[in-house]
Structure 1
Amino acid sequence: MFSQFALHERLLKAVAELKFVEPTPVQVAAIPLALQGRDLRVTAQTGSGKTAAFVLPILNRLMGPAKVRVDIRAVILLPTRELAQQTLKEVERFSQFTFIKAGLITGGEDFKVQAAMLRKVPDILIGTPGRLLEQLNAGNLDLKNVEVLVLDEADRMLDMGFSEDVTRLSQECAQREQTLLFSATTGGAGLREMIGKVLKDPEHLLINNVSQLAEGTRQQIVTADHNVHKEQILNWLLANETYQKAIVFTNTRAMADRIYGRLVAQEYKAFVLHGDKDQKDRKLAIDRLKQGGVKILVATDVAARGLDVDGLDLVVNFDMPRSGDDYVHRIGRTGRAGNEGLAISLICHGDWNLMSSIERYLKQTFERRVIKEVKGTYGGPKKVKASGKAVGVKKKKTDKDKKGDKKSVAKGPTKRKSVNRPKADTPALVSQDGMAPLKRRKPAVSE
């Protein structure tokens, strides 16, 4: 029960109003430490309740009587507009019985309108690094008295090239008393470097090993011969799988537009989401998916983080993601909050090694699935011969083999070390039948 936490009664009232009963593992682990003011570095899968794990402690810190706001007291940094908007909604839901106000700063919105909002000084500022820096450089943002800094989806911010921006913003919050860093993956050297820069004596909470991520999601692969064959498989899946809502992920905007166009031509209720879409279209796509106006969303990785949609139970990787972390975030859109989901990756010859590396990273083996109605010829790498030698691998020549090579000319003349060496050092050429010597000719220029 949430009553186990030392939260203000107005926050507990909001939690009860929202019908939150049992806290999730990440909330059980993180909330008590965050309430104590500790710096935290938390790794937990998407859909595990991470947002509430940092929002409730922040709100509890800021609780008090209504008064004139003179400073921004908490900043929450996120990698995408969609995740920032979703976090704002969560803050507003949990703070509904308080006087705490939150503001949103992201790209794609009117700069002057945002500057006017900042002059009202919200208690909590939620935003993406790029636009926050623009407002900071324009003199519209003062972070000197921020008490709490939250870096949510920190690994994704690094992947998107926000490392310098995040470092600069954290330096602007120099007087902060607490920093909370959350991510769905353990990240690499870049994330470890950031942790060393922004956290002070942090408590490390590993709620899920990477091999435990998306345990509620069945993960399958279906082999394909080429992209046209992938489209045929996708059509079959969307027509025959049982699902409420689905996301089809691609690696490029052009492919996303192509698939979206084909789905619309087949009268599917679909929408497309990628970086070329303006903020209005991106918001419309997500809202229509959440409300059920569309059943299928075709998207690039811009939708892989922060998209929380009820009833989203099918993810199709038309293109295999470029890293294990991206794969985790894609399939994390389904199987959320204990529900079951299905993730299917379409694998061509060029995708196999990438897929195998992701399996090793997750320490899992994806289920191999064959759909007989759209079965192709490619089924994975060629099998190893019974002798133990892989197909196409040259074996070491024996002396007997080398002697036989002298009697063979079908593979072309041997490469000479020097064109002008003495004739006595040059072996005689042999005819096609391996019997009569051929008359020697001057070597071609290409040799």
Structure 2
Amino acid sequence: MTFEDLGLSPEVLKAVEEVGYTTPTPIQEKAIPVVLMGRDVLGCAQTGTGKTAGFTLPMIDILSSGRARARMPRSLIIAPTRELAAQVSENFELYGKYGKLSMALLIGGSSFVEQEQKLDRGVDVLIATPGRLIDLFERGKILLADVKILVIDEADRMLDMGFMPDVERIVGLLPKIRQTLFFSATMPPEIRRLADAFLMNPKAISVDPPASAAETVTQGLVKVKGAAKEKRAALRALAKSEDVKSALVFCNRKRDVDIVFRSMERHGFSVAALHGDMAQPVRMETLQSFKDAKVQFLVCSDVAARGLDIPAVSHVFNFDVPSNPEDYVHRIGRTGRAGRSGKAFTLALREEGKYLANVVRMLGMDIPEVTLEQDSGWEAGEAEEAKPGRSRRGSSRSGEGSRRGGSRRSGRRSQSNREETVASETVAEETAPSATPANDVAANAAAESPEEVVTLDAAVEPKPRPAARSKAREQKREPRRGKPKQESDSLAPGETAFGDHIPAFLLRPAKVA
């Protein structure tokens, strides 16, 4: 089947042909005719299958007739991230260049003035993230009473990021009679419940099983001994051993993105960083540099795991095993797109064994293990015993680690002593094999009286605390020394409880009536 068989207009077909596409993907083949009929659609397909073009192409044809009014968009597309919203707008510009549709992109980090000016002129297609859309609506800059088509893209990601209350509020502001297109890469029960609330008699389109990995992606697993330092070394070794054209490196936390970025940059890699705390202009510039092949490696958080269409990505490296197994599918879906082949490697420490087991259970298959030239791999049975949050170094040290810990926990030094001994602590740890509080006590005793050192044991028993006083004993306890006693008859004549100083107001003569 070709795009001509789907019933699209000649203008759209010409734009698609210029882009270079001739055969629609399965989700496009099934969704485009249904959208042109005006029915609601519940689409579920794995990432990288062309869901965005599945609703942008028919929307261009539907909206070609008619005219938008000021502040009243005719269609609304809600996306979870700024990057995905910007990509959807690029699709409309690409496929709708022979039409006369106006479009506005409402995302955070951009100028309010420019967005308000576009809304005042009237837009046919409004693409927005939930936060900025609600912000402008509350300012009175948008009226949603004329929306004919609503698209909710990457609905499962909306749920993960906590945007669903905002989406439900936005849907409540729209007309009841509308066409709704609901697309998601996975279909958990929560998404199914929301789809039932938003859609009216939808046409369900499911191309691939939910949460399934693309067959064009070759997966690999590298089990790393040690901690984060060894994992960074394994990442560099793996990147050098592979023929990498462009690659995404995913981390679970934003601070790890910066750490891995600096590590790769110090070792001479062409690398950039991308996460949600960066300013929007910097994020867009970084992403564009990666698309233009000016940067070979992009270290990022899950902000780049959904919906971004960068066909030239040859490799994906999961520096961290995702805590949510469905995120694994979205991450590796950034490669092997549009029929191309790609590779995805996951680096896992022993303590990440639980997360890795969840990914394997979701995929229904084991990830092939890859062995590097350096020392890697887990010992037998470690994957089953691994627990998240417990590091290998902390769990395996019983001798040397406890002795070093004892040295750090030894008696408190004075401020002057501490400043003098900071520089020699490292040498002391390496030269003293058993630096414990007991040894510190023995050293001090040796300095004063060498004869007493022989009587000291290897461990000094702490002095027991005195037993707590009973309540009755506390009541009978005499007052503390220095506590002011009450004035009594024992004072000498003329003596007061004020001592030598008597307030001036007491020296004034009293007026007697």
* Amino acid of the structure 1 residue aligned with 2:231: K
Q: Which residue of 2 aligns with 1:210?
A: 210
User: Structure 1, residues 252-301: CA drift from partner, whole Å, max 9, x if none?
Assistant: 11111011111111221110001111101111111011101100000011
User: Structure 1, residues 82-132: CA drift from partner, whole Å, max 9, x if none?
Assistant: 011111010111111111111100011112321222111210000111110
- Measure, in 1, the Cα distance between the counterparts of 2:258 and 2:322: 17
User: Offset at 1:212?
Assistant: 4.1
Task: State whether residues 223 and 379 of structure 1, in contact with CA within 8 Å, keep that contact through their aligned partners in structure 2.
Answer: no
Q: Which residue of 1 aligns with 2:195?
A: 195
- Measure, in 2, the Cα distance between the counterparts of 1:316 and 1:60: 39
Q: Which residue of 1 aligns with 2:371?
A: 370
- Measure, in 2, the Cα distance between the counterparts of 1:246 and 1:352: 24
Structure 1 residues 338 and 230: CA distance shift in structure 2, 3 A: same
- Measure, in 2, the Cα distance between the counterparts of 1:22 and 1:322: 36
Q: Which residue of 1 aligns with 2:46?
A: 45
Q: How does 1:149-160 map to 2 (within 5 A)?
A: 149-160=150-161
In the alignment, is residue 100 of structure 1 matched against residue 93 of structure 2? no
- Measure, in 2, the Cα distance between the counterparts of 1:60 and 1:364: 42
* Amino acid of the structure 2 residue aligned with 1:123: D
Q: Which residue of 1 aligns with 2:116?
A: 115
Q: Which residue of 1 aligns with 2:330?
A: 329
* Amino acid of the structure 2 residue aligned with 1:253: K
- Measure, in 2, the Cα distance between the counterparts of 1:358 and 1:380: 20
Q: Which residue of 1 aligns with 2:24?
A: 23
Deviates more, 1:237-246 or 1:302-311: 302-311
Q: Which residue of 1 aligns with 2:221?
A: 221
- Measure, in 1, the Cα distance between the counterparts of 2:33 and 2:383: 54
User: Offset at 1:138?
Assistant: 0.9
- Measure, in 1, the Cα distance between the counterparts of 2:68 and 2:303: 39
Structure 1 residues 191 and 43: CA distance shift in structure 2, 3 A: same
Task: State whether residues 144 and 175 of structure 1, in contact with CA within 8 Å, keep that contact through their aligned partners in structure 2.
Answer: no
- Measure, in 2, the Cα distance between the counterparts of 1:258 and 1:364: 32
Q: Which residue of 2 aligns with 1:164?
A: 165
The structure whose RCO (Cα within 8 Å, separation 6+) is larger is 1
- Measure, in 2, the Cα distance between the counterparts of 1:111 and 1:302: 23
**Structure with larger Rg:** 2
Q: How does 1:255-266 map to 2 (within 5 A)?
A: 255-266=256-267
- Measure, in 2, the Cα distance between the counterparts of 1:137 and 1:364: 49
SS of alignment partner, residue 7 of structure 2: coil
SS of alignment partner, residue 316 of structure 1: strand
User: Offset at 1:364?
Assistant: 2.1
Task: State whether residues 272 and 298 of structure 1, in contact with CA within 8 Å, keep that contact through their aligned partners in structure 2.
Answer: yes
- Measure, in 2, the Cα distance between the counterparts of 1:365 and 1:293: 35
TM-score when normalising by structure 1: 0.82
- Measure, in 1, the Cα distance between the counterparts of 2:159 and 2:254: 21
User: Offset at 1:52?
Assistant: 1.0
Task: State whether residues 211 and 364 of structure 1, in contact with CA within 8 Å, keep that contact through their aligned partners in structure 2.
Answer: no
Task: State whether residues 145 and 175 of structure 1, in contact with CA within 8 Å, keep that contact through their aligned partners in structure 2.
Answer: no
Structure 1 residues 10 and 382: CA distance shift in structure 2, 3 A: closer
* Amino acid of the structure 2 residue aligned with 1:311: A
User: Structure 1, residues 180-200: CA drift from partner, whole Å, max 9, x if none?
Assistant: 0111112x2321221121111
- Measure, in 2, the Cα distance between the counterparts of 1:267 and 1:241: 16
Task: Give the CA RMSD over aligned residues.
Answer: 1.8
Task: State whether residues 70 and 120 of structure 2, in contact with CA within 8 Å, keep that contact through their aligned partners in structure 1.
Answer: no
User: Structure 1, residues 30-77: CA drift from partner, whole Å, max 9, x if none?
Assistant: 111111111111111111111111011111111137786673111011
* Amino acid of the structure 1 residue aligned with 2:55: F
Gaps of 5+ in 1: 385-444
Structure 1 residues 382 and 259: CA distance shift in structure 2, 3 A: closer
Task: State whether residues 67 and 124 of structure 2, in contact with CA within 8 Å, keep that contact through their aligned partners in structure 1.
Answer: no
- Measure, in 1, the Cα distance between the counterparts of 2:379 and 2:40: 49
Task: State whether residues 146 and 176 of structure 1, in contact with CA within 8 Å, keep that contact through their aligned partners in structure 2.
Answer: no
Structure 1 residues 25 and 142: CA distance shift in structure 2, 3 A: same
SS of alignment partner, residue 325 of structure 1: helix
Q: Which residue of 2 aligns with 1:360?
A: 361
User: Offset at 1:144?
Assistant: 0.8
Structure 1 residues 378 and 119: CA distance shift in structure 2, 3 A: same
In the alignment, is residue 310 of structure 1 matched against residue 319 of structure 2? no
Structure 1 residues 331 and 115: CA distance shift in structure 2, 3 A: same
Structure 1 residues 264 and 382: CA distance shift in structure 2, 3 A: closer
- Measure, in 2, the Cα distance between the counterparts of 1:59 and 1:380: 57
Count of equivalent residues: 383
* Amino acid of the structure 1 residue aligned with 2:56: V
Task: State whether residues 349 and 380 of structure 1, in contact with CA within 8 Å, keep that contact through their aligned partners in structure 2.
Answer: no
Task: State whether residues 212 and 329 of structure 2, in contact with CA within 8 Å, keep that contact through their aligned partners in structure 1.
Answer: no
* Amino acid of the structure 2 residue aligned with 1:10: E
